[in-house]
Amino acid sequence: MPPLLLCIWLVSLLALFWFDPARDPKASAALWVPLTWFFFIASRSPAMWLNFSRSGNLELALEEGSPLDRTIFSLLMLLAFSILVSRSFQWGRFVSQNPALVLYLAFALLSVAWSDFPFPTFKKWFRDTGIYMAVLVILTDRNRLEAVRTVLRRLYYATVPLSVVLVRYYPNLGRTWSVWGDMEYTGVTTSKNMLGLLCLASGIFFFWDTAARWNQRRDKRIRRVILMNLLMISMALYLLHLCGSKTSTVCLILGSLMIVAAHSNFGRRHVSWIKVAAPGIFLLYLILNVGLGLGAEMSKAVGGTADMSDRTRIWKVLLSVPINRVLGCGYQSFWLGWRIEWVWSRLTGDDVFEAHDGYLQTYLDLGLIGLGLVSTFLIATYRKICRQLDEPLTPLVSLSVGVWSFLLLYNVTEAALGGGLLWFTLLMGSMTVPKRVKVPAHAPSPLALRKTLIPKVVSDR
């Protein structure tokens, strides 16, 4: 297939960026930095895009990484840090206002000390720290809500339609074959599960944006925005149907229901019901799955298999790997070195590179301490959300409620804790960020102020 359709997609994307009815004309140019970073998170790394390859030697890539990726991510990190410095970001206040998140990141850095691969572990931690700074660039914008909307809208404008084009017309880029010989749809991502994650993240964003604007639907511009949202939701549902991700489908429904409840009159009158519903659904799942052993029946009820697509066998093998149960293997270091071959030798024909469980993956990397810190962060985040629910409802709060409510459930069969689209979307809606220091444009410089005050002091004497 000639690149004509890709050219049409690119022209259409640029036109959409410019003529988008939801476009914020005052959007800061600095938002292109986090947008670029999130594009690579949502799709493929720069090296994979430029080489038009999916993975190459994955085992070596996980340990050594790509020089091109390091260069691009380091540049983005430098730009994000420079933007925060120019905005006089108050690092001390940020640390004091987000202790749970800071403790998790500090422990992840400390894990370099006991990792079998200290340098690769540090490189992964350093790279991910840059992503947090990219999120702070969004949250320190003068209009936080519109900054979040602008970045996520542009991100999904770029990735969702492109996934449709690749899946339909460029099968060598948008499809792949599993180790079992089955064709899988991947779109701009690297696997069908990642495509399901993209559909989930984009679907929940456009649904949330529609719900937040629904009361203004009589306005002509808002109607165009809602129609565009519905078009993007339909694309996401189409891709979600192709990739067949049951987890993403269930989570999308759950998150949408929570957002509707948060914006409904009933939900505003009974806020306590919403506060209880989000963690209550997850606790109910644990009781049914762990307490009553109904996990297989629930999986088959949503169209899955009794073994959750072979995940139960993978979890059993991963739990038998000899590791430090308290400290783990080091931040994102489990899938390095001998442990890969150890797992593969016991999973014949299934060369996995992920635990398919966010809690298990955190345990393997950072042990029981890391799992406890992540749990503490999730609890602290939900407490912030609950406090904000008691106040007049703001759009970002309803987004946080929707994402938090299904993030717990999503990580039972997929890994999305500590990184990825869902993790950083939750941070954008709930993380506490110090307000920007406003300096009046007419304020005198310190030198001019000094020259003014010194004569006054002398005259007073």
Domain-wise residue ranges, the chain:
4-432
Mean pLDDT, rounded, for 158-187: 87
Q: Give the whole-number percent of the chain exceeding pLDDT 70.
A: 85
Reported confidence tier of residue 52, pLDDT bands at 50, 70, 90: very low
**Unique residue bearing structure tokens 């933007």:** 83
Q: Which of 101-115, 418-432, 438-452 has the highest mean pLDDT?
A: 101-115
Question: Does residue 348 or residue 168 have the better pLDDT?
Answer: 168
294 confidence band (pLDDT: 50, 70, 90): low
Residue 413: per-residue pLDDT: 86
What is the spatial distance between Cα 44 and Cα 34, in angstroms, rounded to a whole number? Answer: 15
184 and 243 Cβ atoms separated by less than 8 Å: yes
More confident residue, 308 or 30: 30
- The residues with which 70 forms a beta bridge, in sequence order, are none
pLDDT of residue 391: 83
- Reply yes or no on whether the pLDDT at 60 is more than 50: yes
Q: What is the structure's pLDDT at 339?
A: 87
Write down the mean pLDDT value for the chain: 86
Task: Give the confidence band of 105 by pLDDT, cuts at 50, 70, 90.
Answer: very high
Any idea which of 9-23, 25-39, 56-70, 222-236 has the lowest mean pLDDT? 56-70
Residue range 423-452: mean pLDDT, rounded: 67
What confidence tier does 151 reach under pLDDT thresholds 50, 70, 90? very high
pLDDT tens digits for range 424-437: 999 998 888 887 66
Evaluate whether 208 touches 257 at the Cβ level (below 8 Å).
no
pLDDT at 454 over 60: no
Residue 308 pLDDT: 58
* C-beta separation of 132 from 80 below 8 A: no
Query: What local confidence, expressed as pLDDT, does residue 449 receive?
Result: 40
Instruction: Say yes or no to pLDDT of 31 above 60.
Output: yes
433 or 441, which is more confident?
Answer: 433
Locus of tokens 């000899």: 322
Query: Contact 328/367 with Cβ under 8 angstroms?
Result: yes
pLDDT tens by residue, 330-349? 999 998 888 888 888 887 75
For 349, phi then psi, to 5°, come to: 80, 5
**Quick one: what percent of the chain has pLDDT higher than 90?**
55
Give the pLDDT of residue 304.
60
Tokens coding 149: 């909307």
Convert the pLDDT of each residue in 205-249 to its tens digit: 999 999 999 999 999 999 999 999 999 999 999 999 999 888 899
User: What's the pLDDT score for residue 459?
Assistant: 46
| pLDDT of the residue at 341 | 83
Q: How far apart are CA 104 and CA 371, in angstroms?
A: 9
Name the band, by pLDDT with cuts 50, 70 and 90, for residue 307.
low
Please report which confidence band the pLDDT of residue 54 belongs to, taking 50, 70 and 90 as the band edges: very low
Q: What is the mean pLDDT of residues 53-75?
A: 68
Task: Give residue 305's pLDDT.
Answer: 59
Q: Picking from 9-18, 155-164, 167-176, 277-286, which range would have the lowest pLDDT averaged per residue?
A: 277-286
> Higher model confidence: residue 304 or residue 47?
47
Distance CA 323, CA 316 (A): 14
HEC profile of the chain: CCCHHHHHHHHHHHHHHHHCCCCCCCCCHHHHHHHHHHHHHHCCCHHHHHHCCCCCCHHHHHHHCCHHHHHHHHHHHHHHHHHHHHCCCCHHHHHHHCHHHHHHHHHHHHHHHCCCCHHHHHHHHHHHHHHHHHHHHHHCCCCHHHHHHHHHHHHHHHHHHHHHHHHHHCHHHHEEECCCCCEEECCCCCCHHHHHHHHHHHHHHHHHHHHHHHHHCCCHHHHHHHHHHHHHHHHHHHHHHHHCCHHHHHHHHHHHHHHHHHHCHHHHHCHHHHHHHHHHHHHHHHHHHHHCCCHHHHHHHCCCCCCCCCHHHHHHHHHCCCCCCCCCCCCCCCCCCHHHHHHHHHCCCCCCCCCCCHHHHHHHHHHHHHHHHHHHHHHHHHHHHHHHHCCCCCHHHHHHHHHHHHHHHHCCCCCCCCCCHHHHHHHHHHCCCCCCCCCCCCCCCHHHHHHHHHHHHHHHC
Predicted local distance difference test score (pLDDT) of residue 310: 72
- Model-level pTM greater than 0.85? yes
Residue 409 corresponds to which tokens in the numbers above? 């459930």
